[in-house]
Structure 1
Amino acid sequence: MKPWWHRWMRTPAELREMGIVGINMRNGRFVLPNNPRRLYDLVDNKVRTKSLATARGISVPETYGVVANPGDVRAFERMLDGRESFVIKPTRGSGGKGVLVVAGREDGLYYKPSGSRLTAGDVRHHLQNILAGLYSLGGKRDTALVEYKVTAEPTMTSISFQGAPDIRIVLFHGYPVLAMLRASTRESDGRSNLHQGALGIGVDICSGRTVHAVHHGRPIDKHPDLKVPVVGVQVPEWDRILDIAVTCYEMTGLGYLGVDLMIDQDRGPLMIEVNARPGLAIQLANGVGLLKRLEPIDAQARAHPHETAEQRIAFSTKTFAPASTR
């Protein structure tokens, strides 16, 4: 019997064979050559990203207000205009840091999806931390975005504990590469952050059906809290989701990017944010190395530099479809 570590640890040669992309390769071969520095602010500033998306006809969560100074912090409740639920996030945050989700209000208290309570003072303190740059890229002073809280489509809530799952799609030269769902758990406190214990669930680019899932890097078939299957679930409106993701590539001009979306039960797919440095956990979620897909896409883009959005989607869905469906 092979020792336990053989299942989880891989040699450099094995990782190369699997097509695994590490952070140095990601930056050196894909991010730096294809993402001009001048374009980063288009996606690092969430307010600007939402403005660009709206101009392109992409649906985004409604903005209730922007908290930019201490006076706004004191008066933040006026932005809510009686709304019971909302999301606060740093304008220049990354990795889900500093995001506060409020699911309801009652008797002057604010309730997170987990049921834990916050006072108005707690919320103001969180806003002050955002303004101080506690969660921003580079630790610089920031502003806070207050926006609509997505009410997740029922299929999505069925595989996520309390919080609404989001969808990450990585694109290269405008071609969809890999996709995953990030579903929350009790451990992650309703957040879709893999490092905090959320699930990474791989999604087949061709069909929008979940095909693989991991929790803390280890394969699973069922949600650890809900005990429901997380593999074989059909993501609704998949064609529209792919179209939004490819439009974000055209909107930003970034050659290598990640697009995050959520599916609202009434408004359908909404673009949440765009990332110029998407993380690498999507490989674990799918059980597929990025290099296995980035290299064919690079060759296709060089050979056919003027393909339309429809042609790029068609290439990815045909090339990366499961062998059994080709």
Structure 2
Amino acid sequence: MFRLLPDLKSKGVMGINRRNREYILKNNPRRNYVLVDDKLETKKLALAHNIGTPELYGEIHYQQQIQHFEELVKGRDTFVIKPARGSGGGGIMVIREVGPMGYVMSNGRVLSVEDMHFHLSNILSGLYSLSGLRDKVIIEQCIELSPIFKNVSYKGIPDIRLVVYKGVPVMAMLRLPTVSSAGKANLHMGGIGVGIDMATGQTLNKGVRYNNFIDRHVDTGAKLGAIDIPDWQQCMRLAAKFSDIVGMGYIGVDLILDQTFGAMMLEVNARPGISIQVANRAGLLPRLDLIDENKAYDLPFEERIAFATKHFAAPATTQAE
């Protein structure tokens, strides 16, 4: 993917080794990893600090609790199942309807009660967890797609990844689901990443999918540029606020936009990927250096947001017309 950015060094593109050595190891205390690696702990921390996040309907910790699953979702037609320690979208199941034949997923597949129980058992056994160890099941609110994304989303919910460094938003991208990504906003599965102008909250004129820049959604044909993210300043505030709360200096915060509730925090990543630089056609290093040089991390909260807005605007060549 990085072959798309010639002159990587001159653009200040950061590699995995440097990210790990100079930013993750130095700024993310090991004791705090559980707060972000475990999505259930992340959600409870967000709720405790009045940060909007999809409502928690229930949780399952042990195999014998699976028999009570139907009670946990009784009266709910839509919900999401996910592993607490999953990664890359593995194990996530979006239920859009509960009918006489079973649970209808967002892709139209119908699961019987037995199928659902089997999936829950697999999650608990650690099939999708980062470590392969025993996991927990999260049952949460199913987000309703914001109308702004209707034409650039295929049977799934887009999300926004914001990299935050020492409490200052640094770079962002919109991640869009496709047919090949099975409706998940996952770039490794074939989703689309589109950079976001930090000054305006508007998507840039091209997105990236696998090893190619594209200007239209591969399934819908809709243009990827000039999408105005609603409440962009609030999105940056949410990400920066949670960075302060969790006590980690280099994280990726994933947000979703609900048509009713607006921006909500979905999850946090203590090891955010570096492909966001390709989506933005810009390196992270110049922005990270600017934060350190100006000690922007010492600024009052609102001034940190203003710093990002002022200094991390997208170059004119990448802005959508």
Count matched residues. 316
Deviates more, 1:305-314 or 1:137-146: 305-314
Which residue is equivalent to 2:60? Answer: 67
| SS, match of residue 152 in structure 2 | coil
Question: Whole-Å Cα distance in 2 between the matches of residues 209 and 217 of structure 1?
Answer: 23
Which residue is equivalent to 2:292? Answer: 298
Which residue is equivalent to 2:14? Answer: 21
Deviations along 1:68-98, one digit per CA (max 9) or x if unpaired, are 1112212212111221111111111222222
The aligned runs of 1:190-269 (5 Å cut-off) are: 190-211=183-204, 212-269=206-263
C-alpha contact 1:173 1:298 (8 A) present in aligned 2: no
Alpha-carbon distance, 1:229 to partner? 0.5
| SS, match of residue 75 in structure 1 | helix
Corresponding position: 1:144 with 2:137: yes
C-alpha contact 1:217 1:284 (8 A) present in aligned 2: no
| SS, match of residue 146 in structure 1 | strand
Which residue is equivalent to 1:316? Answer: 308
Paired letter, 1:145: I
| SS, match of residue 28 in structure 1 | helix
Which residue is equivalent to 2:149? Answer: 156
Corresponding position: 1:100 with 2:90: no
Which residue is equivalent to 2:182? Answer: 189
| SS, match of residue 175 in structure 2 | strand
Question: Whole-Å Cα distance in 2 between the matches of residues 125 and 102 of structure 1?
Answer: 15
Which residue is equivalent to 1:77? Answer: 70
C-alpha contact 1:156 1:235 (8 A) present in aligned 2: no
C-alpha contact 2:13 2:277 (8 A) present in aligned 1: yes
Paired letter, 1:288: A
Q: Pick from 46, 59, 62: which aligns with 1:53?
A: 46
Q: Pick from 27, 33, 38: which aligns with 1:34?
A: 27
Could you tell me the TM-score, scaled by structure 1's length?
0.92
Question: Whole-Å Cα distance in 1 between the matches of residues 96 and 294 of structure 2?
Answer: 45
Deviations along 1:220-271, one digit per CA (max 9) or x if unpaired, are 1110110110111101111111110111111111000010010111111111
C-alpha contact 1:66 1:143 (8 A) present in aligned 2: yes
Question: Whole-Å Cα distance in 2 between the matches of residues 322 and 132 of structure 1?
Answer: 44
Paired letter, 2:28: N
Question: Whole-Å Cα distance in 2 between the matches of residues 213 and 9 of structure 1?
Answer: 12
Q: Pick from 76, 100, 111: which aligns with 1:118?
A: 111
Question: Whole-Å Cα distance in 2 between the matches of residues 87 and 126 of structure 1?
Answer: 13
Question: Whole-Å Cα distance in 2 between the matches of residues 216 and 299 of structure 1?
Answer: 34
Question: Whole-Å Cα distance in 2 between the matches of residues 298 and 150 of structure 1?
Answer: 37
C-alpha contact 1:174 1:250 (8 A) present in aligned 2: yes
Question: Whole-Å Cα distance in 1 between the matches of residues 42 and 107 of structure 2?
Answer: 29
Q: Which runs of 5+ in 1 are unaligned?
A: none
Alpha-carbon distance, 1:323 to partner? 5.0
Paired letter, 1:239: Q
Corresponding position: 1:131 with 2:124: yes
Decide whether aligned partners of structure 1 residues 9 and 162 sit closer, same or farther in structure 2, where only a CA change above 3 A counts: closer
Q: RMSD value over aligned CA atoms?
A: 1.8
Alpha-carbon distance, 1:182 to partner? 0.8
| SS, match of residue 87 in structure 1 | strand
Question: Whole-Å Cα distance in 1 between the matches of residues 287 and 19 of structure 2?
Answer: 13
| SS, match of residue 242 in structure 2 | helix
C-alpha contact 2:166 2:297 (8 A) present in aligned 1: no
Paired letter, 1:119: S
Paired letter, 1:281: S
Moved over 4 A (4+): none
Question: Whole-Å Cα distance in 1 between the matches of residues 121 and 143 of structure 2?
Answer: 24
